[in-house]
């Protein structure tokens, strides 16, 4: 029994085998790409949480710096004959701000609302 293979048929079979291998390789590549995209999405979610936390903490620090600068200016005023009660209250505000910064679960919006209420109460007096 003699089997003869035409060269043209041989190359067509060879190309089809290469095409099947290429398709399998492409599927494996897509599977790994999907895993990579899922991990990237998780990292981006973590980055979003961290940036929100950093933004809220920077607002907290801004309020603390304001209170400390007011306390320092009132303290220097008290040293030169200013009111002692104002200085003590300013130092107490600064200490309360520092405590609020380091306490867990500090809510910036709640503190901001309380601060607005205090300012409104002061302006009514």
Domain ranges of the chain: 7-124
State mean pLDDT over 91-110.
66
CA distances from 113 to 109, 117, 121, 122 (A): 6, 6, 12, 14
The whole-number pLDDT of residue 19 equals: 98
- pTM here? 0.43
Q: What is the largest CA-CA distance in the chain?
A: 121
Is residue 109's pLDDT more than 60? no
Is residue 18's pLDDT more than 80? yes
Mean pLDDT of the chain: 80
pLDDT band at 72 (very low <50, low <70, confident <90, very high): confident
């Amino acid at each position: 029994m003699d089997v003869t293979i035409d060269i043209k048929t041989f190359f067509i079979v060879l190309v089809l085998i290469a095409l099947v291998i290429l398709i399998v390789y492409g599927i494996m590549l897509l599977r790994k790409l999907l895993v990579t995209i899922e991990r990237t999405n998780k990292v981006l979610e973590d980055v979003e949480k961290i940036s929100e936390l950093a933004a809220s903490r920077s607002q907290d620090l801004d309020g603390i710096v304001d209170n400390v600068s007011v306390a320092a200016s009132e303290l220097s005023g008290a040293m030169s004959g200013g009111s002692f009660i104002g200085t003590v209250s300013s130092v107490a505000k600064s200490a309360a701000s520092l405590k609020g910064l380091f306490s867990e679960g500090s809510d910036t919006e709640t503190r901001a609302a309380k601060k607005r209420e205090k300012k409104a109460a002061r302006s009514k007096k």
